[in-house]
Amino acid sequence: MNVKTNENISIIGVPMDLGADRRGVDMGPSAIRYAGIVERLESIGYKVHDRGDLIVRRPQVNKTANTNLKYLDEITRVNLELCETVSAEMEKGNFPLVIGGDHSIAIGTIAGVLQHRPKTGVIWYDAHGDMNTSETSPSGNIHGMSLAVSLGYGHESLTSIGGIHAKLNPEKTVLIGARALDPGEKDFIKNLGVKVYTMHEIDRLGMARVMEETMEIVTDGTDGVHLSLDLDGLDPHDCPGVGTPVLGGISYRESHLAMEILAEANVLTSAEFVEVNPILDQVNQTARVAVALMGSVFGEKLC
């Protein structure tokens, strides 16, 4: 599969912190813009359309009746709007680049993408599996459930976004960088057959081989590739400004190599970068890393 490079990128900000239930990550879109994402992409030659931020409200009560999921109603509403926004941008022929915000926004992003590319393969770059459900989640935080929802498992309010049939194929979904999986997620992964490259595999095989194998999986019989990149996939030394840091992560250089290999394949059709938390950061370092990685994945070269 080879996709013609899209010169038009639509940036969609989603200042969501409800899925993580921790303040600060709602300022992620502003931090990424401040770090120069628009200028970076324009310097590479893209036409950038910044669509601004969706509005996220903070309810006074964090629980919805008959569920342990926090802020379910508002997260559902925002993701419904995000699904429609992403779909509308793709209808115009633009590449949707969603910036967050916590990882619960992947629910709406992917649902919108699937309206146009129903056989999308996904690279989930993350320290966590995000494959909990209300039954397995130890916290009730929806940002730890977004991949499960996108695969069709979870609360009906969430899985119905974009339509019950607009769901990912687990055999075309790859998780890279995992090093913190809950017991329920491990069983879920085994049962569904999602390919996972833990830090053990990355250390043993090397990032180049991991990405080569990943590209074979996500491009085989698919009609596009979506990148969902959580900045906590990288080691906290490189990205301190995330809400759930896990030691022993992917390095800055390994991440650039992964993005460069993805750029060379010319198969990416949508992307999101999430979990930048400026309150926990050091002089906007994590947002600057996010922007640098976006430069690589969109084809930025030294010469």
For 172-213, the pLDDT digits (tens) are: 999 999 999 999 899 999 999 999 999 999 999 999 999 999
103 assigned to active site: yes
Give the model's confidence band at 296: pLDDT under 50 very low, under 70 low, under 90 confident, else very high.
Answer: very high
Distance, CA of 124 to CA of 292 (rounded, Å): 18
Give the model's confidence band at 18: pLDDT under 50 very low, under 70 low, under 90 confident, else very high.
Answer: very high
- Active-site hit among 53, 89, 103, 235: 103
230 assigned to active site: yes
- Active-site hit among 74, 235, 275, 300: 275
Closest by CA position to 150, among listed 140, 139, 161: 161
| AA letter at 275 | E
> Which residues make Cβ contacts (< 8 Å) with residue 189, sequence separation at least 6?
129, 131, 175, 181, 196
Give the model's confidence band at 129: pLDDT under 50 very low, under 70 low, under 90 confident, else very high.
Answer: very high
Distance, CA of 28 to CA of 143 (rounded, Å): 15
Supply φ then ψ for residue 91, to 5 degrees.
-60, -35
Distance, CA of 57 to CA of 180 (rounded, Å): 30
- Active-site hit among 53, 126, 260, 281: 126
Q: Which residues pair with 180 in a beta bridge?
A: 128
Q: How far is it between the farthest Cα atoms of the chain?
A: 57
91 assigned to active site: no
Q: Which residues are annotated as a binding site for Mn(2+)?
A: 103, 126, 128, 130, 230, 232
Sheet containing 225-230: give its strands across: 47-53, 8-14, 95-100, 268-274, 225-230, 121-125, 173-178, 195-198
275 assigned to active site: yes
The domain ranges of the chain are 8-297
The pLDDT mean for the chain works out to 95
- Active-site hit among 74, 89, 130, 272: 130
- Active-site hit among 17, 230, 254, 300: 230
Give the model's confidence band at 171: pLDDT under 50 very low, under 70 low, under 90 confident, else very high.
Answer: very high
Q: Which residues are annotated as a binding site?
A: 103, 126, 128, 130, 230, 232
Which has more pLDDT, 64 or 276? Answer: 276
Task: Flag whether the pTM goes above 0.75.
Answer: yes
| CA R_g for the chain | 17
Superfamily in which the 8-297 domain is placed by CATH: Ureohydrolase domain (3.40.800.10)
277 to each of 36, 135, 232, how far by Cα in Å? 16, 28, 10
- Residue 7 is encoded by which pair of tokens? 């010169």
Whether 127 and 179 have beta carbons less than 8 Å apart is answered as yes
128 assigned to active site: yes
pLDDT at 17 > cutoff 90: yes
CA 172 to chain centre: 16
81 assigned to active site: no
- Active-site hit among 26, 74, 102, 128: 128
Distance, CA of 33 to CA of 100 (rounded, Å): 11
Is the N-terminal amide bond of 241 cis, ω within 30° of 0?
no
143 assigned to active site: yes
In this prediction, residue 5 carries a pLDDT of: 64
In this prediction, residue 3 carries a pLDDT of: 59
CA 49 to chain centre: 20
223 assigned to active site: no
